[in-house]
Amino acid sequence: MNTSSDVPIDTAAPVLKLLGDKTRLTMAGLLMERECCVCEFTEIFDMSQPAVSQHLRKLRDAGVVLETRRGQWVFYALNTEHKMYPLVKSIMNGMPSQKEKLDELEKNGNHVVWCDTKR
């Protein structure tokens, strides 16, 4: 049976492929907790900064995440308006929480909080 919330195979497959990479799947898990700064990703993942950037770009190009610049930092968040968000969410709901990784960062004082002092 089809329902109005169904999404074509052709649309879903590329999203699944994106999440089929361990790094990007973990990124999605982190973004389920809260939006994250690129610098947090580069802390967490054992790879070069460009590699992190390229993974984020793929997620962004697919519309799965949204990018926001705040000062010299760029934050990424899950795009909850995206047509594939329900799929992403249902997948991530079965995954272990990545909160500990973020707690670890914050414990080490690496949590970027941006305050617009010019406002």
Partner DNA sequence: TTGACATATAAGCATATTCTTATATAATGA
Partner DNA sequence: TCATTATATAAGAATATGCTTATATGTCAA
CA 75 – CA 58 distance, rounded (Å): 15
Q: Nearer Cβ to a copy of itself, position 13 or 47?
A: 13
The entry of a copy of itself, DNA, none that residue 108 binds, CB within 5 to 8 Å by partner kind:
none
The entry of DNA, a copy of itself, none that residue 71 binds, CB within 5 to 8 Å by partner kind:
DNA
Per the listing, tokens 């054992």 go with 46
The entry of DNA, a copy of itself, none that residue 57 binds, CB within 5 to 8 Å by partner kind:
DNA
Sequence letter at residue 38: V
Residue numbers at the binding site for DNA (CB under 7 A): 17, 20-21, 23, 37-39, 42, 47-51, 53-58, 67, 69, 71-74, 117
Q: Nearer Cβ to DNA, position 1 or 66?
A: 66
Closest approach, Cβ 42 to DNA, in A, equals 6
